[in-house]
Amino acid sequence: MSGNVTARAFKMDGPLLLTVRRFADHRGYLMESFSERDFRTVGVEENFVQDNHSFSAETGTLRGMHFQLPPRAQAKLVRVLRGAILDIVLDIRRGSPSFGQHLSLPLAAGSDEQLYIPVGFAHGFVTLEPETEVAYKVTDYYAPEQDRGIAWDDPDLALPWPDLLGGPILSDKDRCHPRLRDLPAAF
């Protein structure tokens, strides 16, 4: 533990699973969900400028796979406030040895875990419980002209979405993203 946070790396270089220390007593607990000082000691050296909060009413709501193009690309720090998700991160850095590969992991409320996603990755998640709330910090402001996505069901990627009765609940925008192979190099 470095200060109040630990980091677990993955085979894929970049993303980190961060665990933040809780201080508990008979009243409940307190945790520093973000401390620039502590996060820097485990390799997260970002300037987060915006906090986002999403609410999904139904199980099976899928949001993704999203990213922003440079120069407005965003790193993210994701945590679940209520409910649970399956989070998926996709490496879209053309020169990376893990280009086109993904990382998937469950995240749930009540956990001390947060997922750090650096620039150069597409991100998406599906809710595993109703009334799920997800909070995430980003390193640049939303820029509609740089907003992009990759098809959540791109057959070349075989992303491990769970089987959902009736399929996922998607926005119109998320139904229309191109396949990864049809995107020009961005990172």
Residues known to be catalytic: 66, 136
CA–CA distance, 61 with 52 (Å, rounded to integer): 17
Secondary structure of the chain as H, E, C letters: CECCEEEEECCCCCCEEEEECEEEECCEEEECCCCHHHHHHCCCCCCCCEEEEEEECCCCEEEEEEEECCCCCCCEEEEEEECEEEEEEEECCCCCCCCCCEEEEEEECCCCEEEEECCCEEEEEEECCCCEEEEEEECCCCCHHHEEECCCCCCCCCCCCCCCCCCCECCCHHHCCCCHHHCCCCC
Do residues 116 and 45 lie in contact, with contact meaning Cβ atoms separated by under 8 Å?
no
The gap from C-alpha 124 to its chain's centroid, in whole angstroms, comes to 6
